[in-house]
Amino acid sequence: MNIVALDGYTLNPGDLSWGALETDNTSFKVYERSTRQETLERAAKAEVLLTNKTVLDREIIESLPDLKYIGVLATGFNIVDVDAARERGIPVTNVPGYGTEAVAQHVFALILALARRVEHHAQRVRTNGWATSDDFCFWETDQIDLEKKNLGILGFGNIGRAVARIGSAFRMNILIHSRSHPRNLSSAYEFVDLNTLLTRSDILSLHCPLTEDTHYLMNQNAFERMRKGAFLINTGRGPLVHEGDLADALKDGEIAGAGIDVMEAEPPPPDHALYQIDTCLITPHLAWATQRARQRLLSVVIDNLTAWLAGQPQNVVNSVSS
C-alpha cells in the first residue's frame, strides 16, 4: 500500500509518531507541505492520500489512476472535491470532534484576555508602567467580571456545547441560537432568535458551519445591532466575519473587542487592517493544536484507514457505494 501525506507538518511537527503507518506492508512518505505541482508529482502513484489543507480538486483526483482512498487530517473537508472522489469510488474520510475541548478552552483564553486585557498589562509591567505607579496596583483598562454576563453562542454542536458548559462554570447567562432547536437543552440555557442573540450578548462566540447563509453573517448590519461593550469571538471559520466591517466596528466603538483565531485568508497579508487595532486579539489558527488534540486526530486518521482496509469504513463524508 502506497501512502502519501501531502502536508503533515501542522498535525505532526515532530512531537508525534507516524509509526502506525510505517509497516512492512506499506510504503509511507510524509511531506511537510506540498504545492499544486508537487502534489501532482508526489501523489502520482499513491493509493492512499492524506491531506490537511492541500487541495485535491477534480483535476488532481482524475489524474491519479491508482488512488483508492483520501483521508482528511481535519474535520472540515472542503479542500477535497468529494463529488469527483465519489464518481471514482474513492471514499473521503474526516476526523470529527478531536479538538472540542482544546477549541473551547481557547475561546475562554481569548475571552479572558479581552476582559482583563492581560497582554496589555503584562507588556506595561515590562515597560515599567507598574514600577513607576504611585499605587500598589495598576491598570489602564476596564477590568471586566464574567459573572452574570450574557454569553451568546451561535451554533450548538460539540464545541458550542463545551463553550456553554465552561461559561456556566463562570456563572454566565448562556444564550443559544442554532439552525434548529437543540434537543434536551438545559433549562439553564436560553434559546433565542438571531436578532436577540446579537442584541443581548455581552460576548458572542461563533461555532456555526460556513454555508451560503452564514458567509459574512457578521457584517456591518450585525455589528450595529450588537451592544457597544460586546466582544466577538471567532474560532469557527474565517469567512463567517466580514473583516473590513469588523475593523470599522472596532474603530467606531460599535463593539468593544474581538478575539479571532481564524481568518478569511490564512496566513493573512502582512498589512491586514485588524493588526493595527489594539482591541483585536488575533491568534494564528492554533485553537485546535494542543498535543493531546493532535494525538487524538492522528489516532482517528489511523483508525479510519484501518477500518477502510478491513472493509468497514468509518467517518466517510461522501457516501461511496461498496
Distance CA 233, CA 6 (A): 31
Report whether pLDDT(322) > 80.
no
Q: What pLDDT score was predicted for residue 194?
A: 97
φ, ψ of residue 87 to 5 degrees: the values are -60, -30
CB 155 within 8 A of CB 209: yes
State which amino acid sits at residue 220: Q
Give the class (CATH, top level) of 2-94+292-309: alpha beta
Residue located via cell numbers 469571538:
233
User: Is 3.40.50.720 the CATH classification of the domain at 100-282?
Assistant: yes
Q: What is the mean pLDDT of the chain?
A: 96
- The pLDDT tens digits for 30-39 are 999 999 999 9
The closest of 263, 204, 206 to 231, measured between CA atoms, is: 204
- The pLDDT tens digits for 172-201 are 999 999 998 988 889 999 999 999 999 999
**CATH topology identical between 2-94+292-309 and 100-282:** yes
Which pLDDT band holds residue 214 (cuts at 50, 70, 90)?
very high
- The domain spans of the chain are 2-94+292-309, 100-282
Give me the active site residues, please: 237, 266, 285
Q: Percent of the chain scored above 90 by pLDDT?
A: 93
Distance CA 295, CA 98 (A): 9
The closest of 194, 195, 191 to 181, measured between CA atoms, is: 191
Report whether pLDDT(145) > 70.
yes
State which amino acid sits at residue 117: R
Mean pLDDT computed over 219-237: 97
Distance CA 62, CA 124 (A): 57
